[in-house]
A = this chain, B = another copy of it.
Amino acid sequence: MARQFKDEIIEIRRDIHQHPEIGFEVQRTAKIAANACLKLGLKVTEGVGRTGVVADLIIDPKANTIALRADMDALPMQEEGDCEYKSTVPGAAHMCGHDAHTAMLIGAAKILTSLKDQLKCNVRFVFQPNEENFPGGAPGMIEDGVLKDVGMIFGLHVWPEIASKSLGLCVGPAMAKPDEFKIYITGKGGHAAEPHLAIDPIIVGAQIITQLQSIVSRNVSPFDNAVLSFTEFHSGSTHNVIPEKAFLHGTIRTFRPEVQIYMRETLQSRSRAIAESFGAKLEIEYIEGYPVTFNHDDALSVSREVAQEIFGKDQVIMPASPTMGGEDFGYYSQEIPACFAFLGIRNEEKGICRMCHDPRFDVDEDCFVEGMSYHAGVALSFK
């Protein structure tokens, strides 16, 4: 069934790919999704969560509802590959595959409309903006009621680490809580020839980075997954002046709340202790990231059964390795039973093996058949 929509969906995907839109500014893409759903006779609501689209396929107002979600936004970067459907917008590109997500969800809407009489539940198609930028597009969608009366929600992400025609399903956590922090150190500037009259913020920063390695290496259980990355260090402007200030920027990524709380608090207390021991001041701005994207047992069972049928038992990788990357799908999985799958798109023969956010990222469009079918399948098996 999916096969007959393949060319059409590829065309939609390429159209979106050529016209990438960033953040909440996904009006054109949203209109494509909305129009396609309207054409199918679905009940379409636009402007959900600012620029999102919700399309309902209702078989019985009293029946249970399942939600299928796709994100629509592109990245603020330049595409460097040479595909024929290359981005036409300078500084914007679908290097994370959301174009494919949107197109496949439109495909699923087409399939399910065709098979409407086999459905045992209502289906809500959710097209969401602004997945890439914290605090994400999901909170606004939820606030606007997208999960109201919904029993379960499913999503997927194209995944370059998994071969095309395979699907990965994580047991429990699939994607991490990606927190951000900014550390502002204030010492006392001075002449580089007189360190004893200054309070050197670079020494403080270096010690913080060096000492805090022990959080992951000693204080977090070897059976927990945790990352603390310092990704920026900026201080000073010339060779003969000890600067007054230093700035550190970074991320903490965790799965379990206990670990997240421990790391957040230890980052703060230990950084401050180090700075103060040197006589420096330290301010931390801590920005809580998306919640963990978590696969609930019941939703996972539905996914596995459908996936094994569509991809074949050996092509379903479970448990798949989770990732310390983040996803705002986590907000949905906080609210109701949810499952987020990794759809294989790697195809080395076609030269498709770049990671997400790589400027030459692409997807193997042959996987669209399985992607659409999987979306449709979970809806068909849900009651």
Contact = CB atoms under 8 A, between A and B. Distances in A.
A89 interface: no
A234 B233 CA distance: 6
Interface stretch (A152-160, A305-313, A322-330, A337-345): A322-330
Given A210-B210, A214-B203, A321-B223, A193 B253 contact: yes
B227 A238 contact: no
Interface of A: 176, 178, 180-182, 191-196, 200, 202-203, 205-207, 209-211, 213-223, 225-243, 246, 249-251, 253, 269-270, 273-274, 276-278, 321-326, 355, 357
Nearest to A219: B196
A107 to B, nearest CB: 29
B216 A230 contact: no
Contacts of A273: 273-274, 276-277
A319 to B, nearest CB: 9
Contacts of A233: 202, 205-206, 233-236, 246
Contacts of A237: 232
Nearest to A193: B324
Given A203-B209, A206-B210, A215-B217, A324 B240 contact: no
A239 B231 contact: yes
Contacts of A180: 239-240
Nearest to A274: B277
A17 to B, nearest CB: 22
Contacts of A202: 209, 230-233
A227 B192 contact: yes
Contacts of A220: 196
Given A202-B231, A225-B223, A238-B249, A178 B196 contact: no
Contacts of A221: 194, 196
Contacts of A251: 192-193, 239-240
The residue in A217, A241, A253, A273 that gathers the most chain B C-beta atoms within 10 A of its C-beta is A217
B277 A227 contact: no
10 contacts: A178-B193, A192-B231, A192-B251, A196-B220, A205-B206, A210-B210, A222-B227, A231-B241, A232-B238, A233-B235
A324 B190 CA distance: 13
Contacts of A206: 205-207, 209-210, 230, 233
A361 to B, nearest CB: 13
